Every structure is written in structure tokens, then in C-alpha cells.
Amino acid sequence: MSLPQDGNDGRTDPDRNPARRNCLEDLQARVGQDLGVSSWRTVEQADINTFAKLTGDEQWIHVDPERARTGMYGTTVQHGFLTLGLATGFLWEVCTIDGFGTVLNYGLNKVRFPAGLKVNSRIRMHVKLVDVKDLDGKGAEAIYGLTYEVEGETKPCCVADLVFRYYN
């Protein structure tokens, strides 16, 4: 089964449906492969402020544009965990898994934030299927390698291994 493509380096076309996998065997056949790239999303101060209020992380580097202007980034930056929290939505743009009764975000194996993500930047997420294992006939566990690209920057703002479990 092939991924829908827009003719641009195999990236998933965000105007089309995401690639669909139907079973454990479909997943296992894709291990080690790039699954696609999400659409671009602009980092907005309003989202940062809302996240700060919800989490209690109202550090000035995130919510005070005046003070942040004199800081190391020259502007406010998005919280790393807000960036990470976009993973599920971005993943579902790239690939969805059918044929299982329950899908769970099982957690993360590793996460790093190599670069700050400045307000008004544009990001998108690259997805690679790192590993898939059978859960004793009860379902499957998939590990997705995520790399968040920042438009115009050489360093990603986030890299992570996201673990999903799919139960029959």
C-alpha cells in the first residue's frame, strides 16, 4: 500500500486523506521508512499564552514579548511541551491505522528540544516508522520517529520517539 503523494519529494498532501494502514502486517512492512510530512503550522502568541495559563508555565521567555526582545532569542518562544503536544494531530495528517478497536498514545521513549521555536515561525513534522512489535496477538506497538522542522532553520526544534499502541 503506498502513501498518497503530492509529487513533492513523497510528502503527504494535507488536502488529501492521510495514508491508511489496515493491520499489523501493513505496519511491519513499513518499518524503517519515512511515512510523510505534516502540513505547516504557524506558531502564534495566543496559543503560547493559552498553553502557559493551562500549565502554569508562564515564564517570561514564553509570554512577555517586551522582555523576550532582550533575551537570547529576540522574541518569545513556544513551550517545548506545546510543540510536542501537536504530535498526535500531525501524525494523523500523515498516517492513520485502521483495523484496531482502541488506539492509545503510550508515551515517549526520548525527547529533545535542540533549538528554540520562535513565535511566528512555521513548523511541520516529519514521521518515520522506527519499529513495530506484536503485543502477543492482542495488538501492536508502533514507535514513530518525529522530527519537527522549522522553516528556514537548519536545526529541528524537537525530535522524539512517540509510542502508540493499537489493540484489537
pTM for the whole thing? 0.85
User: CB neighbours (10 Å) of residue 112?
Assistant: 11
Q: Whole-angstrom Cα distance, residue 135 to residue 168?
A: 10
Query: Residue 4: its pLDDT value, please?
Result: 35
pLDDT surpasses 50 at 9: no
Domains and CATH numbers, the chain: 19-42+80-167 (3.10.129.10)
Query: Residue 2: its pLDDT value, please?
Result: 28
Average pLDDT, the chain: 88
Mean pLDDT, residues 22-41 taken together: 86
> Among residues 40, 21, 118, which one has the least CA distance to residue 79?
118
Counting residues of the chain whose pLDDT is more than 70, the rounded percentage is 86
Mean pLDDT, residues 17-23 taken together: 55
Taking only the tens place, the pLDDT of each residue in 64-73 is 999 999 999 9
> Among residues 85, 101, 103, which one has the least CA distance to residue 141?
103
Mean pLDDT, residues 40-48 taken together: 97
Q: Whole-angstrom Cα distance, residue 54 to residue 46?
A: 12
DSSP string, 9-22: TT---TTSPPEEE-
C-alpha cell at 70: 532582550
Query: Residue 18: its pLDDT value, please?
Result: 57
Taking only the tens place, the pLDDT of each residue in 98-128 is 888 899 999 999 999 999 999 999 999 999 9
User: CB neighbours (10 Å) of residue 26?
Assistant: 17
Q: Whole-angstrom Cα distance, residue 54 to residue 77?
A: 17
Which of 5-19, 38-52, 104-118, 121-135 is predicted with the least confidence, judged by mean pLDDT? 5-19
